[in-house]
């Protein structure tokens, strides 16, 4: 058993990303029941909604699960209070500095992992005392780092300078991808896209169906004036592209984005005018599977890839 499995009390070093509008209690509990670590995505939940999902997840699994919390969340204090009140023992933080919250969460007996996109922030995480680091390359869906560093470059670079357990994320959707991440120094992987496109994901069927038809190059990192975000090229993206081409200001882009655009696309299924966030590796997927089917496939493919490597060498 590796350090990440021991840290979180899980069977397999596979962690489900806490994605907005995808990661409700059904998805998180299914991943945990299958031996991985499920995460609730607090980024798209009001505090009372998160509390409801935590309680439903507890009823659906007796295995460890956690909560992903973007640190730019407007109701952050209340979210953290609920996490502590409900006895959650694993928190993944992102989109901000972990320095403020790590010590407080540790005082409550909570393990903390933080998502980074650069070696600079990875070092800051270790200094802040996090229990694990998630190194996420820009292949990932949703919000990304401005550095645009790929997973294959980021993971070994973070491994060289940090000693805490390391989790690779971004572009990993297969068993051989898990093996590759381990070869680069990761001790576990976090998968968003693969689990977003499962039956248990709370994303709308139309969003899942569109993602499963994507080809190479159909997603792109955009909205760089605000927060770099990987999106599917749809009608909404074309409006953003046109605005950026003519030199629109950040305020103009923000007005065009409006409010609730990701909910409109991912949760409500508007594949034309919604903000459709998904990773590059969606183009490698074609079938809508259950979490149990995905986990079994990942494990079988990982073992097959490991045997093939040994044979080749």
pLDDT digits (tens, 9 = 90+) for 91-135: 999 988 899 899 999 999 999 999 999 999 999 999 999 999 999
Neighbours of 258 (CB within 10 A): 11
* DSSP letter assigned to residue 103: H
Question: Which residue stretches of the chain have pLDDT < 70?
Answer: 313
Residue 167 to residue 169: CA distance in whole angstroms: 7
Backbone conformation region of residue 50, classed left if phi is above 0, alpha if psi is from -120 to 50, else beta: alpha
Q: Could you tell me if 168 and 190 are in contact, meaning their C-beta atoms sit under 8 angstroms apart?
A: yes
Distance CA 106, CA 113 (A): 11
CB atoms near residue 35 (< 10 Å)? 17
Instruction: Calculate Rg over the CA atoms of the chain.
Output: 18
Structure tokens at 99: 């320095």
**What pLDDT, on a 0 to 100 scale, did the predictor assign at position 206?**
98
């Amino acid at each position: 058993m590796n350090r990440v499995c021991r840290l979180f009390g899980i069977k397999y070093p596979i962690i489900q990303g806490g994605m907005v509008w995808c990661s409700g209690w059904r998805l998180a509990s299914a991943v945990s029941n299958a031996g991985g670590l499920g995460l609730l995505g607090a980024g798209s939940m009001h505090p009372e909604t998160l509390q409801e999902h935590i309680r439903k997840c507890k009823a659906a699994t007796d295995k460890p699960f956690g909560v992903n919390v973007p640190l730019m969340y407007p109701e952050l204090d209340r979210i953290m209070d609920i996490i502590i009140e409900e006895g959650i023992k694993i928190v993944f933080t992102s989109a901000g500095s972990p320095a403020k919250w790590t010590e407080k969460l540790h005082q409550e007996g909570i393990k903390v992992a933080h998502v980074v996109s650069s070696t600079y922030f990875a070092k800051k995480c270790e200094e802040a005392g996090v229990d694990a680091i998630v190194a996420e390359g820009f292949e990932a869906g949703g919000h990304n780092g401005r550095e645009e560093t790929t997973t294959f470059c980021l993971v070994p670079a973070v491994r060289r300078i940090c000693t805490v357990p390391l989790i690779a994320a971004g572009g990993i959707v297969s068993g051989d991808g898990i093996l590759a991440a381990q070869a680069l120094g990761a001790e576990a992987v976090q998968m968003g896209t693969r689990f977003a496109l499962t039956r248990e994901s709370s994303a709308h069927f139309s969003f899942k169906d569109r993602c499963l038809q994507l080809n190479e190059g159909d997603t792109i990192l955009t909205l760089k004036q605000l927060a770099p975000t990987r999106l599917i090229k749809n009608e909404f993206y074309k409006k953003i592209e046109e605005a950026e081409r003519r030199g629109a200001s950040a305020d103009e882009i923000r007005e065009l984005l409006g409010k609730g655009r990701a909910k409109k696309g991912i949760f409500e299924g508007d594949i034309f005018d919604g903000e459709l966030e998904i990773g590059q590796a969606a183009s490698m997927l074609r079938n809508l599977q259950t979490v149990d089917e995905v986990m079994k496939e990942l494990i079988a493919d990982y073992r097959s890839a490991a045997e093939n490597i040994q044979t080749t060498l």
